[in-house]
A = this chain, B = another copy of it.
Amino acid sequence: MIDEEHFFEGAEKRLEVDFLETANNDKRGLLNIPRKKWEEFLATVNCLIVSESHTDSFHSYVLSESSLFVYPFKIMIKTCGVTTLLECLDLLIQYSQEVYLRVDFVTYSHKSFVNPHLQHPTYQTFDTEIQMLNHHFNGNGYTLGPMNGERWFVYVADMTGSPSTKEEAEQTIEIMMTDLDRKAMSMFYKNDEDTADISAQSGITAILPHSLIDDMMFEPCGYSMNGLHRTDGTSPQRYYSTIHITPEPGFSYVSYETNLPVDSYDDIIRRVLHIFKPGHFIISVFADAEALCGESNKSYDCKLPGYTRTIANTCEFVGRRSVTCSHYSSIHADTSRENQLRAQ
């Protein structure tokens, strides 16, 4: 049993909201909102900005608990621990109206928590989270994965029902890893090395090329990274990746996410698994109908060496996008890894 006092819930609550213009504005949309206002917004969630990076296309904030990315017509925020992510909704809607935007598509998701009873009341069941979201939007919640096991919750509200008029179809992969390799995690405890070395030494900088890395080690352990990416050496940085690491044995958790448009996630998944060596993980892929990766359930080769896929669930939001959530276990996870933990 893990001492609840020392427990940390690594799994993030994740909110992504797409907006549409209501007037022909300057195309900067949410980028017009100053940092001071994001700080007020983040105060409702109980977290702080610890680092920021900007490109012409988007703003990236590393937070005290995870990350915020702001695009002209989209926001993606994920926050871990016992943050109160949905408390930001009032301000988010207010801010978006101030820059002449209206809500188009909302997704809110998280992996099942290890200790839901340690969360604030709204976040102890997905039903209460759905209720809170439906104070603002008109959507539905889904459970992907077994009701009696580790699972992934996703809420979706399609507020316009119209196929997107976006210039580019979007796609996002999230890899949510648990029961991580002790040796791989040992690197993410604070010591005298600087974090630049860690991102290079760990292999994190090599996951995606053409990257700017904004990363942070936490005391006494833990690591966050926002990457800013382009599809080749010359195009502008328009895509993000983000990694969050809770290295402690007993509740180790690492998440990897990127919205880089690739035709297959095979290489990304291979590199991520090679670095972190999880015992178990969930991969979720969101893909617009016209995304480069194809249908979300065909976006990578589901046969991953050393792992068995136990279940795959797809939810299709007809005409807009689909999400597929697949569960994997190391073929060694139930023997060597658990023995390793017991031997501590």
Contacts and interface: CB of A to CB of B under 8 A. Distances in A.
A188 to B, nearest CB: 32
Contacts of A317: 311
Contacts of A311: 140, 315-318
Contact of A315 (B127, B141, B313, B318): B313
A218 interface: no
Nearest to A147: B141
Nearest to A143: B143
A314 interface: yes
Nearest to A126: B147
**Interface hub of A126, A145, A148, A315 (most chain B Cβ within 10 A):** A148
Interface string A142-182: 11011111000000000000000000000000000000000
A112 to B, nearest CB: 13
Contacts of A297: 314, 316
A126 B146 CA distance: 12
A130 interface: yes
Interface string A112-156: 000000000000001100100010000011110111110000000
Interface of A: 126-127, 130, 134, 140-143, 145-149, 297, 302, 308-318
7 contacts: A130-B148, A141-B146, A141-B148, A142-B147, A143-B147, A313-B315, A314-B315
